[in-house]
Chain A
Amino acid sequence: MGQFIQLFVDGLSNGSIYAVLALAIVLVNQATGMINFAQGGMAVLSAYATWWLTEHGLPLVVAILVSILLSFVLGGLIERFVMRRFERGDPDTAVVVTIGLLTLITGICGWLWTYNNKQFPSLFSLKTVDIFGAAVSVRSIGTFLVIVAIMLLLQALFLGTKLGLALRAVAINPQSAAFSGLPVGRLLMAGWGLAAALGAVAGALVAPQLTLTPGMMDSALVYALAAVILGGLSSPIGVVVAAWLIGVLENLAAVYVHFIGYDLKVAVPFILIFVVLIVRPQGLFGRKVVVRV
């Protein structure tokens, strides 16, 4: 039983890594209507910025805040000068552009900071506390709480604020959004900027565990995408719950389901997606999109 609880808690802390990246993907999707493969790469770049600032003597918290700000600006600039040209074109092309961005950003990180692993300072200590007989590190708890906070913030942003509504309106139908007087361009830039800023938080949260390398987020990205689809693209709470579910179930399946084991546990999120989507095509928490023909 002790082991079960420990595995459960371990799964939650794994899931948190997927969750924080998934939230950034949802944010960009809600604000611009597209899936951004470069989200992980941008988060890594932000993490390098943070790391660089701490190496130059800034305290970690200040470095993270500066990096969030820089990332917001960079995200906006990327939207304005790279993505804008492709937003109204073929959606496949736009996705491939984000793949190109991912490759470029990874390459830039490798060029500037080498492919060697960098130690990233952690916001939270590694000391453990005992919860129901399981050892949980303060870092896991801290990450968990930050994610819950971001999740609630995003949920409130999209459902409760004018900005959130405007962002969504632009994503769903830029034409009518423009007709109703919304500054479409600025809103798109803001959407990318916010997602990039969130990526900076994501980078700072996961880099201490994964150590900083240009490809740090690559494995997590697939899980994050799975969480996004599973939770429903439109729901921050949904994707976070889905990410945790994936983290926990993959651990339990690896240990208790013999034919899955540690090598095939990566199949768990996809089996889950499959089962859930057959029953609920809009995802666990997603809203049904009705398209008029």
Chain B
Amino acid sequence: MSSITGFLSRAWVRWAITAVVAVALLVVPLLFSEYTNQNLARIGVFAVAVLGLNVVMGYTGQVSLGQIFFVGVGAYVTGYGATHDWNIVVVFLASVLVPGVIGLVVALAAARLGGLAIAMVTIALPIIGVPLAKRLSDFTGGSQGLSSAFSNAPDWTGLYNDQWQLYLVIVIGGATYLLTRNLVRGKYGRAFAIVKSNEAVAASMGISPYRYKVLAFTVASLIGGVSGFLYMAVIQFTSPETMTFSHSITLLASMVIGGAASIIGSLLGGAYYVLVPQWSNDINPNLTELLQGALLLLTLFLLPGGLVTLPREIARRLRRSRPDGGPERRQTPSAEPAPGREAVEETPTVGGIPTQRPTERQEQA
């Protein structure tokens, strides 16, 4: 284990891995079937949406139930611009900035409120967004929606549409991922983490919780806009149903299932969002809700920290199966345990990363 990580930490190895991944991403669209490409592109769209949600929720700890609204706004702006023959760069910028500005305005107000109240204000976005999209039918096409095939492959590329669209997702989505990664790994990321863990401490350190919450929220809306642009590029259609509240809830679930406060987790969350409905359809199209609910619960039972913790979980299990039991201690059952309250597992940590917040895990002993 340690030899592998040691090997991986060498600079040239990292560069080599980066290069391999980059080449793979460039080649992938050329190799796969149309359907696989379309699916990968869809995953990319929602992986970006989940990434945005992760910035505000996973990293900064502010519950947002409105992320799908920004995706919807981004998609509408893109659709409107594309059908009115705007320059594609202008379309992209508008599709990111409009949700960003809305996000900023909402955040300026909402970040004054605490925890649950922010959740309620953000719930309002998709709930009001749907009828609002219908009312603004001159821009949105009303309930019949807006379609635009602006993202078909240009002739000079010689590519199929699905390949071109997947390249768009890889380039734009990839850039978004890199920028976000740098943001959350840097000074802002540390500030977000402090705001998340304790606002009072943050304030005492000169970090204004209010300003950082507004910042995180705005970044999340900008990223939502990027996701909306890609949504329109891949699905080429949007309607008020895009912003339905239930999709926002599913995004939230995908974020937690993928892994909160994790870049890779966001990617896995996007995959979850797209693939699970397909799998449940393959098993039995009449039982999709039942299967999706069961799978969600099962995943969190096995991996409370999300899919991203799978390798860590496996490593932990392996170590546990060794006779000496690794670093983990057995918990001594208390003399008088509360009925039905079992000894809870201790916070699993590997390499210093707690998979759970280090709360009162070993209480009632």
Contact = CB atoms under 8 A, between A and B. Distances in A.
Nearest to A261: B135
Contact of B289 (A89, A103, A185, A270): A103
B339 A183 contact: yes
Contacts of A110: 287, 289-290
Contacts of A266: 127-128, 131
Given A104-B293, A293-B201, A226 B340 contact: no
Nearest to B300: A97
Nearest to A87: B344
Interface in B112-136: 112-114, 116-117, 120-121, 123-124, 127-128, 131-132, 134-135
A208 interface: no
Nearest to B199: A293
A92 B260 contact: yes
B290 A273 contact: no
A185 B364 CA distance: 10
Interface in A75-131: 80, 82, 84-86, 88-90, 92-93, 95-97, 99-108, 110-111
Interface stretch (A7-15, A43-51, A152-160, A274-282): A274-282
B343 interface: no
Interface stretch (B68-76, B93-101, B210-218, B249-257): B249-257
A93 B304 contact: yes
Contacts, number: 155
Interface residues of A, number: 53
B183 to A, nearest CB: 20
Contact of A99 (B109, B253, B341, B356): B253
B297 A82 contact: yes
Interface string A214-250: 1000100010011001000100000000000000000
A92 B127 contact: no
B128 A267 contact: yes
Contacts of B293: 100-107
Nearest to A102: B293
A102 B300 CA distance: 15
B300 A88 contact: no
Contact of A107 (B256, B287, B338, B341): B287
B309 to A, nearest CB: 11
B207 interface: no
Given A270-B120, A293-B198, A222 B127 contact: yes
A186 B121 CA distance: 35
B108 interface: no
Contact of B341 (A92, A185, A264): A185
B245 A93 contact: no
A184 interface: yes
Contacts of B131: 263-264, 266
B363 interface: yes
A192 interface: no
Given A174-B363, A175-B363, A270-B121, A90 B339 contact: no
Nearest to B257: A96
A206 interface: no
Nearest to B58: A92
A35 interface: yes
A101 B289 CA distance: 10
A189 interface: yes
Contact of B123 (A84, A222, A264): A222
B198 A186 contact: no
B353 interface: no
A37 interface: yes
A34 B120 CA distance: 15
**Candidate in B57, B297, B338 with the most chain A CB atoms within 10 angstroms:** B338
A104 B290 contact: yes
A100 B291 CA distance: 10
Interface of B: 57, 63, 109, 112-114, 116-117, 120-121, 123-124, 127-128, 131-132, 134-135, 198, 200-201, 245-246, 249, 252-253, 256-257, 260, 286-294, 296-297, 300-301, 304, 338-341, 344, 356-357, 359-361, 363-364
User: Top 7 A-B pairs ranked by shortest CB distance?
Assistant: A104-B293, A107-B290, A107-B289, A103-B293, A100-B296, A270-B124, A185-B341
7 contacts: A80-B340, A90-B304, A96-B252, A96-B256, A229-B117, A264-B128, A270-B121
Given A104-B297, A178-B363, 15 more contacts: A37-B249, A85-B304, A88-B361, A90-B356, A90-B357, A92-B252, A96-B252, A96-B300, A99-B296, A103-B293, A110-B289, A110-B290, A184-B341, A264-B132, A277-B113
